[in-house]
Amino acid sequence: MSTSIILLCLVVLGALAYVAARSRAMALAGGKPSALHSRPGYYGAYAAIWSTLPALIILCIWLAASPGIVESAVRDAFPDDVKAKTAAEQDLSYSMVATIARGMNLLTSDEISALGSDTAAIQAKLNGKGVPLAGEPQPFMIDAAKTLNAKAAGSRMIMTAVVFVLALGGAFYALRGIAPRFRARNRVERVMLWALLVASSIAILTTVGIVFSMLSEAIRFFAAVPATDFFFGTVWDPRFAGAGGSSFGQFGLIPLLLGTLYIGFVAMLVAVPVGLFAAIYMAEYASPKVRSLAKPLLEVLAGIPTIVYGFFALVTVGPFLRDLSAQVNGLLTGNYGNFIQAQSVLTAGIVMGIMLIPYVSSLSDDIITAVPHALRDGSLGLGATRSETIKRVVLPAALPGIVGALLMTASRAIGETMIVVLAAGVAARMQINPFEPMTTVTVKIVNQLTGDLEFTSPQTLVAFALGITLFFITLCLNIYALYIVRKYREQYE
Amino acid sequence: MTNIVSPIAGTISKAPERRDIGIKRRYAAERRFRAYGIAAISFGLIFLAFLLSTVIRNGYTAFQQTVISLPVEFTEKTIDPDNKRATDPSVLIAANYGALLRDALVKELNINASSRPDVRGATAMLSKSAPIQLRDMVVADPSIIGKTVNVTVLADANVDSANKGQIDLAVDEKNRKVNDKQLGWMNELKANGALFKEFNTGLFTHGNSSRPEAAGLGVALVGSLYLMLIVLVLSLPIGVGTSIYLEEFATKNKVTDLIEVNINNLAAVPSIVYGLLGLSVFINFAGLPRSAPLVGGLVLTLMTLPTIIIATRAALRAVPPSIRAAALGLGASKMQMVFHHVLPLAMPGILTGTIIGLAHALGETAPLLLIGMVAFVASAPSTPLDPSTALPVQVYMWANEAERAFVERTSGAIIVLLLFLIVMNLGAILLRRRFERRW
């Protein structure tokens, strides 16, 4: 029975248990809900929980565990000469077995017995069914595939039986326990509380998942490439292995990190002044009408997907800067050659800076408006102009908060992907000319992981090392920003 | 600050002069400062307007497509010369449908059929997908063979660009994608009413294609729909559950503190890191298929959760304590108070936050690239486990194509994406307006 049908049956069973328990509770109470401890629906829910929850848990565990158990059983049955081979070859054999097993499920039993153990015929037959085999199957694989199918079918049958027994048993147990004084509501609420607790632990699980998944892959990478070569290497040249046999190329983080910081720096050069002045104007000068119009409009910039900015940089801004530089160069030297590349630090930085404007302006706006009015009134009362008040009183008071906001924005600039993928280029080099392309950590993560790949070579595993570096840099920036904001936030209260 | 007139110094005539100069300078500084603010806001808004207008200018033409309508004679001689289709239907699939189109075009334009360059130039005006269209027609209804039917087929992308006026005719003929002869034929066809622009339904129904005129967003739309459904179904209950637990039940201790800090940090983790998480946990560890909307949905769910949790907690906190007190006072249990009284009142705020989170997830590209949703998928997925792609990823894939026609498609896809975002955000705003309560 397929999993979705089992799930559907469980839902139906749960609904039936709900109805049965509810009516049983009402019958026991003689039709008066007031005679019951809880409202009738709670008795229904209690029975529904008993009939579905244990069955569901067992179903999930079974589905997660059984493929591994079946696999190891099938592998144990491999002939000894196969077992003697390397782990990678055994994996290859097993994946072939799995493919054959999958194809056999599409054949009728007559067809399978007709095929016997003629490997070539099986390959042809499976190809006809749309299941291509990577290579010539060996005779033992067909037996293994048959065992695999048999064991999988057996496991599925036992699972179905266990799940239904559990569901029915649970429903009976719950129905038997129902009595007018039975505290159904409390039981149901305890389950609900557990469900809420489980939900909130997902946040922690995500973090643990991020750290562990990346660490484990990064450790595999560092087993092949020394960590010092990665963190202090100045050359990024991940040549794909094969040409020189064991040559892995060089995985120097420094050029990528410099590119990331450089582009982020240019972006901040655009975003900080524009965002800050916009925030100051909106908080201090703008009439409520202008403010209510300009603020949401600026925030639209934050809502536009970054791929749109990336495309815009690639198609419009980059070529524009290139042509502009050619014109300027022509006017100055008479040589109409461009000195700004279409893909460059400048292009990516400017476009990313514009994307970041609303982050700076919204966060700073909140912080500036939080500065108490008494401070402004005092300064204005002493005869300062508004700009003097802002420069000498409001901004110094809001500074810690603004610094926190800027740090958060910077972490966003470092983690930004789509703009730099499209606008910054892929050349990993160390240079200071902003008109040339440079590349970033995120670009390299995307580059190393798009395409058809195996997760065994350093060329792909390095992406996880890059990822965890990125994660820790942005994490530190964010924690520091939160710390600054929290520390100075309440200084006026 | 120090140039305050001292009571003894200076004559009466001099003092106001000095002060006036100071005030002028200070007022000028004030005006400058104000101007900077206005300039900053204008810079942002002008850029926004520039970006949107560029995208729309480049992309609105993608919603129209040039087609050519031809009377095609489905001759039996070309399709099935040996009359074997009753016994071997595969001849219908293998037949040379390009020849039918060529003959129809040659007839329509009165070209000398023996002039091979002319014939080749003329057939180049039709999309390479046109023969497939004829094949599908014949396979669906073999009785068509022997008849002459008016068929509307897609024009080649270059003809489409020329028809939309996107090709610079001042360029020398050799360096142009459409030569003068083809332009002449185009005008001839146009005058006959055989070549015209119609609404580009293919943009919304076709899958990806290497030929711009046949490439569409169909797969991406279905994929994005699956993604949004999965994100909604998973992130709303989990997010609301987390918020309720933290806001209403959890006692302040180390564990809940840890969860809180965690959520704040998760909201700021770069999206590509979620892609790496999805790749190693869902694909490498759990063995789910690559390129599947299910994996994408799970990754985006984890990414959206912090947004929803933060919004939900704010909405729950905004419900006044008196409501809780009243519910508890009437004998409701704490769980009943939360689910029967607090949650319904907080619902508008929760839904607004959810829509904003979904809009964010809809536009997200980077994590989807890592789980393989950049695969070239030509047919729409029927389950969330089939390979698929998503709207922003389709934009990314088309952005990397060099042809002019793909620039138009990319901008068109961006317009569709932005329209979805606008609708979602408008929904959020309306919801907030409609249900906004003041206590």
Lowest mean pLDDT among A118-127, A193-202, A350-359, B105-114: A118-127
Mean pLDDT, range B86-111, rounded to an integer: 80
The reported pLDDT for the residue numbered A248 is 65
The Cα A47–Cα A28 span in angstroms is 15
The reported pLDDT for the residue numbered B324 is 93
C-alpha distance from B436 to closest chain A C-alpha (Å): 18
Residue from the list B41, B306, B365 with its beta carbon closest to the beta carbon of A305: B365
**A376-407 tens-digit pLDDT:** 999 999 988 999 999 999 998 888 889 988 99
Asked if B306's CB is within 8 angstroms of A204's CB, the reply is no
When pLDDT is cut at 50, 70 and 90, the band that residue B18 belongs to is low
User: Which domains occur in chain A, in start order?
Assistant: 3-182 (no CATH), 250-492 (1.10.3720.10)
Interface test with B, best of A205, A308, A356, A455 (most B CBs within 10 A): A308
Interface test with B, best of A202, A343, A426 (most B CBs within 10 A): A202
Asked if B241's CB is within 8 angstroms of A199's CB, the reply is yes
Is residue B86's pLDDT more than 80? no
Percent of chain A with pLDDT strictly greater than 70:
93
- Number of CB atoms found within 10 A of residue B398's CB: 25
The torsion angles phi and psi of A108, rounded to 5 degrees, stand at -80, 165
Q: Average model confidence (pLDDT) for chain B?
A: 85
Percent of chain A with pLDDT strictly greater than 90:
34
Mean pLDDT, range A336-350, rounded to an integer: 88
Residue from the list A214, A455, A470 with its beta carbon closest to the beta carbon of B270: A470
The alpha carbon of B318 is separated from its chain's Cα centroid by a whole number of angstroms, namely 34
Residues near A397 by Cβ (< 8 Å), separated by ≥ 6?
Answer: A371, A375, A492
> What residues in B contact A482, CB-CB < 8 Å?
264
**Burial class of residue A7 in the structure, from the number of CB atoms within 10 Å of its CB (0-12 exposed, 13-18 middle, 19+ buried):** middle
**A201-213 tens-digit pLDDT:** 888 888 888 888 8
The reported pLDDT for the residue numbered B194 is 84
The Cα A179–Cα A43 span in angstroms is 9
When pLDDT is cut at 50, 70 and 90, the band that residue B9 belongs to is very low
Percent of chain B with pLDDT strictly greater than 70:
95
Residue from the list B37, B395, B410 with its beta carbon closest to the beta carbon of A278: B37
Asked if B270's CB is within 8 angstroms of A418's CB, the reply is no
- State ipTM: 0.87
Helix, strand or coil for residue B366?
A: helix
> What residues in A contact B249, CB-CB < 8 Å?
193, 196
Is residue B21's pLDDT more than 50? yes
Asked if A301's CB is within 8 angstroms of B421's CB, the reply is no
Asked if A417's CB is within 8 angstroms of B366's CB, the reply is yes
- Number of CB atoms found within 10 A of residue B391's CB: 25
When pLDDT is cut at 50, 70 and 90, the band that residue B415 belongs to is very high
**B190-207 tens-digit pLDDT:** 888 888 888 888 888 888
Structure tokens at A377: 């009134």
Interface test with B, best of A190, A289, A293, A307 (most B CBs within 10 A): A307
Give the residue on B whose Cα is nearest the Cα of A302: B360
The reported pLDDT for the residue numbered B5 is 46
Residue from the list B246, B272, B414 with its beta carbon closest to the beta carbon of A417: B272
Asked if B27's CB is within 8 angstroms of A203's CB, the reply is no
**A63-110 tens-digit pLDDT:** 888 888 888 888 887 877 777 777 777 777 787 888 888 777 777 777
The Cα B415–Cα B55 span in angstroms is 7
Mean pLDDT, range A475-479, rounded to an integer: 88
The reported pLDDT for the residue numbered A240 is 58
Q: Name A211's bridge partners.
A: none
**B364-390 tens-digit pLDDT:** 999 999 888 888 888 888 888 888 899
The Cα B220–Cα B380 span in angstroms is 8
The Cα B342–Cα B336 span in angstroms is 9
Percent of chain B with pLDDT strictly greater than 90:
34
Range(s) of chain B covered by CATH 1.10.3720.10: 217-435
Is residue B141's pLDDT more than 90? no
The reported pLDDT for the residue numbered A243 is 45
What's the whole-model pTM score? 0.86
**Burial class of residue A88 in the structure, from the number of CB atoms within 10 Å of its CB (0-12 exposed, 13-18 middle, 19+ buried):** exposed
> What residues in A contact B421, CB-CB < 8 Å?
303-305
More confident residue, B111 or A193: A193
* Inter-residue contact A225 to A248 (CB < 8 Å): yes
The Cα B131–Cα B72 span in angstroms is 11
The Cα A295–Cα B44 span in angstroms is 11
Is residue B225's pLDDT more than 70? yes
> What residues in A contact B239, CB-CB < 8 Å?
199
C-alpha distance from A116 to closest chain B C-alpha (Å): 30
Is residue A245's pLDDT more than 80? no
The reported pLDDT for the residue numbered A453 is 65
The Cα A133–Cα A148 span in angstroms is 17
Is residue A178's pLDDT more than 70? yes
> What residues in A contact B33, CB-CB < 8 Å?
386-387, 390-391
Is residue B122's pLDDT more than 70? yes
Asked if B418's CB is within 8 angstroms of A354's CB, the reply is no
Interface test with A, best of B260, B264, B269, B419 (most A CBs within 10 A): B269
Residue from the list B44, B302, B414 with its beta carbon closest to the beta carbon of A301: B44
Is residue A490's pLDDT more than 60? no
Residue from the list B26, B241, B366 with its beta carbon closest to the beta carbon of A196: B241
HSE toward the beta carbon, residue B340, CA cutoff 13 A: 12
Give the residue on A whose Cα is nearest the Cα of B305: A203
C-alpha distance from A451 to closest chain B C-alpha (Å): 8
The Cα A430–Cα A254 span in angstroms is 8
The Cα A236–Cα A376 span in angstroms is 53
C-alpha distance from B238 to closest chain A C-alpha (Å): 5
Lowest mean pLDDT among A267-276, B37-46, B296-305, B423-432: B423-432
Q: Average model confidence (pLDDT) for chain A?
A: 86
Asked if B26's CB is within 8 angstroms of A385's CB, the reply is yes
Interface test with B, best of A190, A193, A196 (most B CBs within 10 A): A196
When pLDDT is cut at 50, 70 and 90, the band that residue B310 belongs to is very high
Is residue A229's pLDDT more than 60? yes
When pLDDT is cut at 50, 70 and 90, the band that residue A247 belongs to is low
Mean pLDDT, range B219-234, rounded to an integer: 92
> What residues in A contact B263, CB-CB < 8 Å?
203
**CATH pick for B217-435 out of 1.10.3720.10, 3.90.480.10, 3.40.50.300, 3.40.50.920:** 1.10.3720.10
The reported pLDDT for the residue numbered A115 is 67
Which residue from B236, B249, B251, B255 is spatially nearest to B311, judged by alpha carbons? B236
